């Protein structure tokens, strides 16, 4: 059975760098040369397809994801040129999911129509909050009205599948304010909600000047209230921070969590490919967009580095992803994606079952309620000595 293959496309520019963001994003200080970046992306893809020709033979893309940065800063014509260029180089699955991240501040009705006409069939809109004070604290460039309007533009443009990103645990946020944000998001009837707790990451403005955030007990109440309300509204939690209406799980992210393969093109993009000899290769592209574009101008390789994953690390890498899934994973999937025999993890599974963290039914590893909050403890067991 062929391992699913996805494509991640990184658009690194933003209107403004948010103080909590540790992604490879850069404020667009001047007009971005979109045609040059489009050409670089396609040249980057050409090199990957040549480098991994043997293992990519007869494989089709099951999903494409435009991330950033703020991909919606790009014109619909540029997104169309990228997708047409990709389609000329590699086949699409008939049911391919094509997602584009959009910022409400760059949302325009005509632009969303253009994205849909280009072939994008799923939007992910970065709302984060509807509260003016919290949007200001997060450094967001949109307001609540623009966030609500963006969801309307998505529907009007023909998107019957869209995600809203929402954060909780924001600076000085109360439980009531968190609940209000969620209620507003649900009222917009997205097919998918990504609900993240604000975390303070290194190399961010918040790390250098930490804001006052809710204590652990308040965060726990926010989390449990959020889970309950989303369940009541018909959203199934299928991953640590992802909730979807029936049949609307994000296929691209599921491929990550199920340890599938993916190509990554664009400044700083990462890829993971299972080679024809069953070894697993990770690579990542040069990070800064100026350096990336210079590589294109000079016809040089885009890869910053690559490495083979050591066999002793495969089980840990698989578990680091699979332990995020609410419904667990099958032992058959473990064997297919790692090329390891299930007996290599049998002792750990036995231990976790005896601790009441998992159940194993019909070769499916299912996490208990206790197990879902003990993920880090389980993961430690799979670390290679």
- Whole-number pLDDT of residue 310: 94
Taking residues 24-50, report their average pLDDT: 93
For residue 164, pLDDT beyond 80: yes
For residue 246, pLDDT beyond 80: yes
pLDDT-derived band at 373 (thresholds 50, 70, 90) equals confident
CA dist., res. 374 & res. 108, Å (int): 43
For residue 133, pLDDT beyond 80: yes
Chain segment 87-126, per-residue pLDDT in tens: 999 999 999 999 999 999 877 889 999 999 999 999 999 9
Instruction: Please name every residue paired with 187 in a beta bridge, in sequence order, or none if there are none.
Output: none
In the three-class reduction of DSSP (H, G, I as helix; E, B as strand; rest coil), residue 220 is classed as helix
pTM of the predicted model as reported, rounded to 2 decimal places: 0.96
Q: Which residue is associated with the tokens 């533009």?
A: 153
What are the DSSP calls for 163-174, one per residue?
EEEEEES-TT--
Q: Mean pLDDT, the chain, as a whole number?
A: 94
- Whole-number pLDDT of residue 258: 97
CA dist., res. 168 & res. 8, Å (int): 26
Other beta carbons within 10 angstroms of residue 94's beta carbon come to 6
Chain segment 43-99, per-residue pLDDT in tens: 999 999 999 999 999 899 999 999 999 999 999 999 999 999 999 999 999 999 999
Measure Cα distances from 86 to 61, 165, 243, 282, 310 in Å. 10, 27, 29, 21, 31
In the three-class reduction of DSSP (H, G, I as helix; E, B as strand; rest coil), residue 173 is classed as coil
CA dist., res. 364 & res. 150, Å (int): 40
pLDDT-derived band at 22 (thresholds 50, 70, 90) equals confident
**Which two tokens mark 228?**
């309950």
167 DSSP 8-state letter: E
Residues above pLDDT 90, as percent of the chain:
87
For residue 173, pLDDT beyond 80: yes
């Amino acid at each position: 059975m062929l391992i699913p293959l996805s494509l991640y496309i990184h658009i690194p520019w933003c209107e403004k760098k948010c103080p909590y963001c540790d992604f490879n994003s850069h404020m667009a200080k001047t007009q971005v040369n979109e045609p040059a970046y489009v050409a670089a992306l396609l040249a980057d893809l050409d090199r990957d397809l040549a480098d991994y020709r043997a293992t990519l033979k007869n494989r089709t893309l099951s999903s494409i994801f435009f991330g950033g940065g703020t991909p919606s800063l790009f014109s619909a014509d540029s997104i169309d040129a990228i997708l047409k260029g990709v389609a000329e180089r590699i086949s699409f699955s008939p049911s391919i999911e094509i997602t584009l991240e959009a910022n409400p501040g760059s949302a325009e009705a005509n632009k969303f129509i253009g994205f849909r006409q280009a072939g994008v069939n799923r939007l992910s809109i970065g709302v984060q909050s509807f509260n003016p004070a919290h949007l200001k604290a997060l450094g967001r460039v949109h307001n609540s009205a623009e966030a609500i309007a963006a969801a309307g533009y998505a529907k009007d443009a023909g998107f019957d599948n869209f995600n809203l990103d929402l954060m909780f645990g924001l600076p000085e946020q109360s439980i009531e304010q968190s609940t209000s944000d969620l209620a507003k998001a649900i009222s917009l009837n997205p097919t998918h909600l990504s609900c993240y707790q604000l975390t303070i990451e290194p190399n961010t403005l918040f790390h250098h000047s930490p804001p006052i955030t809710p204590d652990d007990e308040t965060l726990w109440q926010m989390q449990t209230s959020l889970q309950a309300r989303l369940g009541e509204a018909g959203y199934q939690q299928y991953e640590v921070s992802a909730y979807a209406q029936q049949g609307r799980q994000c296929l691209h992210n599921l491929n990550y969590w199920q340890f599938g393969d993916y190509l990554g093109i664009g400044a700083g993009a990462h890829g993971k490919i299972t080679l024809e000899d069953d070894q697993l290769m990770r690579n990542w592209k040069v990070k800064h967009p100026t350096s990336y574009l210079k590589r294109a101008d000079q016809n040089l390789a885009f890869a910053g580095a690559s490495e083979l994953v050591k066999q002793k690390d495969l089980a840990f890498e698989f578990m680091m992803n699979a332990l995020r899934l609410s419904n667990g994973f099958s032992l058959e999937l473990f064997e297919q994606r790692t090329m390891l025999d299930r007996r290599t993890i049998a002792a750990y599974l036995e231990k976790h079952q005896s601790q009441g963290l998992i159940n194993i039914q019909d070769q499916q590893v299912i996490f208990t309620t206790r197990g879902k909050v003990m993920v880090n403890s389980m993961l430690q067991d799979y670390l290679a000595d």
